[in-house]
Amino acid sequence: MSRLLDYLDALPHYLTHNALANARMPGLGQWLLETPEFIQWKQGNIPNNTLWLRGVPGAGKTYLV
């Protein structure tokens, strides 16, 4: 497990984050923030406190988070 964490820590995550942040458009994902499921999750009303975003590859999940 330690080797895996060392490997993940060495990845330049900031490069991916910056590229995604620069590609975002204003208002992107606003619809998600207004869904009843998200509002319930934000208020702590979902039993296991986990909000799952699922979709096919390329659907835009990474941009939303």
Residues of the chain below pLDDT 50? none
Residue 53, C-beta contacts closer than 8 angstroms, at least 6 positions apart = 32, 61, 64, 65
Please say whether the dihedral angle defined by the alpha carbons of residues 14, 19, 25 and 30, taken in this order, is positive or negative.
negative
Residue-wise pLDDT for 29-40, tens only, equals 898 899 998 898
* pLDDT in the model for residue 56: 92
Place of tokens 């998600």: 32
* Confidence (pTM): 0.56
Half-sphere exposure of 1 (CA within 13 A, CB side): 0
